[in-house]
Structure 1
Amino acid sequence: MRSVFDKDGDIFDDIRYKFYDMMLPLVHNSDKYLVYVAQRTPKLQKVSLDMHGITGKGFSRSIRNWRQLEVIFMVSLSGCHCTHILQEIGINCGKLKMFNILSCTDPSRTRFCLNEYNCQVIADNLCSLTTSGISNCYINKLGLLIIMSKCKQLVRLCLIRCIRALEDVKLTRGRGALDARPLKVIPEPLSVFLQKCEGSDSEWRINTLPGKHNIRSVISHLWMEPGDVPTSI
């Protein structure tokens, strides 16, 4: 990184100024590292980054330099820093159109949970989203309902290998920890592409069913278990 960012000369200044797309893998990630990069890439429009080792405070200092961002691909978003990070994105990234979340499958890391509270934070702060991808996360009915109904600009939602929670997971805001009760889930991973119907705020197309369906019907269908009798939708 220093070989690019700390070199002097017109050529390197031109390179730094024209960074539009950057992938930051997990390489000794820290707040200091992220801030160092962000301060030197003010024109960035797309970023992919592993959040392991990044705090809400460090992300806040970094995102203020990235006001041109249109796409964020975020790996290993932590529940304890989730609210702060999403609020900072909402404040600084008015051009954001795509927000993707990928939970690492490493058993030593906790899957990100799109429960009612976290999804409400997304809906409140990422108002300009048109596309979102959610991979390897926990998600429950209320959370998905909030995203599909309250993210008004959202037209495409892709769920990849997500685990469906059968009941709400409570998040304690003070300590940012999941409730101690075991999480009940449908163990079979869910992968599905949802597309909002043109001209409608409440009708979606789902790639496993023909026709248009309202939000609640789509969610009810996704939470069916093997052996359930489909209801009329």
Structure 2
Amino acid sequence: MSEQKKGRFLTVEGTEGVGKSTNIEFLCNLLRERGIEVVLTREPGGTPFAEELRELLLTPREEQISQDAELLLMFAARAQHIAHVIRPALERGAWVISDRFTDATFAYQGGGRGVDLHEIEILEKLVQKELAPELTLLLDLDVEVGLRRASARSAPDRFEQEKKAFFERVRTAYLQRAANDPQRFAIIDASQTLDLVQQQIAESVTRFLEQPV
């Protein structure tokens, strides 16, 4: 009896308005066309309990949420997500595509809020153990353009209400993480036409598939 082949874990990251939803759909279809079982999920969220935490985190409110509370809620949702969605899917051989993961915490809470990166690393190790994405597609776009796109899409959530400078710090943090881990990250220029963006995604995924496991 052959050993069950473990699934692969891919993530898609980016600031507001970069086109994650459209391009994640393209990515999932690309993999399914190759006969791969795909589990699409998101963060914060992915399970009923984690989605409730997402609602707490994203809903605008008068009470200011402390940075520690925000960080811990992010990782509480992530712990539930990993236990009930990500690990079970990977163990049965499915590929998991997550709309954001821990890179977003380093970017938003670390870069945007100024939370000590060492604190995030401690929680990352506690919650994820050895789990990490194998490929991360970072959709990169000028912040002003992204915010304009996002504002045309829907009413702003608690994060989207932040100032432009916050998102500039988030973008810088994302690009720094990509520079520090070039083998895992593929930076996708999201300012191009949709066809060209998806061509970049397809090329990145093809290179990934060709790598020895």
TM-score range, shorter chain: 0.3 to 0.5
TM-score (norm 1): 0.31
| Larger Rg belongs to | 1
User: Greater share of strand residues, 1 or 2?
Assistant: 1
Higher relative contact order (CA 8 A, sep 6+): 2
TM-score (norm 2): 0.33
User: Greater share of helix residues, 1 or 2?
Assistant: 2
